[in-house]
Amino acid sequence: MTDVLQVEHLSISFGGLKALDDLSFTVGDSEIFGLIGPNGAGKTTVFNCITQFYRPDAGAVWFAPGADRLARAGHHGTDKVDLVGVPVHRVIKHGLVRTFQNVEIIPELSLIDNVLIGGHIDFKASMLAQMFRLPSSRREEAALREKARGALAFLSIDHLADEPAGGQPYGVRKRLEMARTLMAEPRLIILDEPAAGLNESETEGLAETIRRVRDEYGCSILLVEHDMGLVMNVCDRICAISFGKFLAEGTPTQIQRDPKVHEAYLGERDDV
Ligand SMILES: Nc1ncnc2c1ncn2[C@@H]1O[C@H](COP(=O)(O)OP(=O)(O)OP(=O)(O)O)[C@@H](O)[C@H]1O
Ligand SMILES: [Mg+2]
C-alpha cells in the first residue's frame, strides 16, 4: 500500500510546553486511520501542523496526492510534497481538507452556498468573466452548483439545500461540513471529533458515511475521535499519542490490548 501521508519527526512548542515531540506516523492509500489520545495529548495540534494552520518547529509532512495532481499545481516530476511552509489554500488545492472540532459554517448562508465555499478552488472563470456574467462563467457556476448538490445528496441533506445553515440541528451542520470537504476532490480528509455531540444512531450513521466517503471518493481518512466505539469500528489502523509523543500504532485490536495505551488513559477513561 502506498502512503498518502507521512508525518515525520514532528515537533512544536507553545512557550515552554512541548505539544508535539518527535511524532511520526503514516496514513496509507484509501486507509481510515485513527489518531487517539487523552485530552490535551496534541491531536488537534497534529492536524494544525499537517494543514499548516501551525508551522511545526521541526519535522516533515509528506503528502502524496499523485504525480498528475502535483503537476497541475506546478510540481513536476514528483508524486509527493513536504507541506511544511506551504500556504493553507495551496494545501487544500493538493486535495487535503479538514473539518474542525467546532463546526465552522456560515450560518447566514444556505447549505448549498456553504458547500460552494469549499468549491471555490475549482472556480476557473476569470474575474472579468464573473463580473460580466459571461456564459463561460455561468456554465462553470452551474456545474459547481450541480456538484455541490451531489455532495449534499451524498450526505442525504439535499432537501435542505436552500435553507439557511444556521438554524439546522447539529447533526445536519456536521454533515454539511463533511459535504463541503467533498468539493475539493479530496485525497485525504481530516476529521476532528466528527462524533462529538451526535447521538448513538447519528454516530452509527457517521461510521457508515465515513466508509462510503472512502469507498466512493477513493480517498483516505484521518480521524481524531474520543468515541472509542466509532474509532474501533471504523479505523483500519490507529496511532495512540500522549503528551505529544508516540505511544503505539496498530490495528484496533492491537491498540485495545496495548498496555501503554491503557496506562495513558488510566484515570481519564476506562473504555479503551
Ligand atoms: N495555540 C496554542 N497556544 C498554546 N498552547 C496550545 C495551543 N494549541 C494547543 N496548545 C496546547 O497544546 C496541548 C495539546 O493541545 P491539543 O488541542 O492539540 O490537544 P487534543 O489532543 O486535541 O485535546 P482534546 O482531546 O481536548 O481536543 C495542550 O496542552 C494545549 O493547551
Ligand atoms: Mg482536540
Q: Which residues surround ligand 2, an ion (CB under 5 A)?
A: 43-44
Q: Which of 24-38, 91-105, 119-133 has the highest mean pLDDT?
A: 24-38
Condensed to tens digits (0 to 9), the pLDDT of residues 139-160 reads: 878 888 999 999 999 999 999 9
Point out the ligand nearest to the CA of residue 42. 1
Point out the ligand nearest to the CA of residue 226. 1
Atom 1 of ligand 1: nearest residue by CA position:
14
Q: 54 CB under 6 A from ligand 1?
A: no
Q: 40 CB under 6 A from ligand 1?
A: yes
Q: 59 CB under 6 A from ligand 1?
A: no
Min mean pLDDT across 22-26, 88-92, 255-259 is at 88-92
* Grid coordinates of 62: 509528506
Beta bridge partners of 81: 63
Point out the ligand nearest to the CA of residue 45. 1
- In the chain, the N- to C-terminal Cα span, in Å, equals 28
- Atom of ligand 1 at shortest distance to CA of 193? 27
pLDDT value of residue 162:
96
pLDDT value of residue 90:
87
pLDDT over 80 at 269, yes or no: no
Atom 4 of ligand 1: nearest residue by CA position:
14
Condensed to tens digits (0 to 9), the pLDDT of residues 77-88 reads: 888 999 999 998
Beta bridge partners of 23: 10
- Atom of ligand 1 at shortest distance to CA of 54? 1
Contact 176, 115 (CB under 8 A): yes
Q: Which long-range contacts (CB under 8 A, 24 or more apart) does 8-13 make?
A: 8/59, 8/60, 8/61, 8/62, 9/58, 9/59, 9/60, 10/46, 10/49, 10/56, 10/58, 10/59, 10/60, 10/61, 11/56, 11/57, 11/58, 11/59, 12/45, 12/49, 12/54, 12/56, 12/57, 13/57
Atom 14 of ligand 1: nearest residue by CA position:
42
Evaluate whether the domain defined by 1-95+186-272 bears CATH number 3.40.50.300. yes
The angle that helices 200-217 and 170-182 make with each other, rounded to 10 degrees, is 10
CATH 3.40.50.300 domain locations along the chain: 1-95+186-272
CA of residue 83 to ligand 1 center, whole Å: 21
Q: Are strands 96-98 and 188-192 parallel, antiparallel or unpaired?
A: parallel
In total, the chain counts a number of residues equal to 272
Atom 2 of ligand 1: nearest residue by CA position:
14
Closest CA to 241 of 33, 43, 47: 43
- Torsion from C-alpha of 198, 171, 234, 26, nearest 10 degrees: -110
From 45, 49, 192, 224, mutation site for ligand 1 pocket: most ligand atoms within 8 A of C-beta: 45
Atom 12 of ligand 1: nearest residue by CA position:
19
Q: What is the pTM of this model?
A: 0.89
If 0-12 CB within 10 Å is exposed, 13-18 middle and 19+ buried, where does residue 16 land?
exposed
Q: 41 CB under 6 A from ligand 1?
A: yes
pLDDT value of residue 122:
44
Per-residue pLDDT, averaged over 202-217, amounts to: 94
Residue keyed to cell 498528475: 68
pLDDT value of residue 228:
93
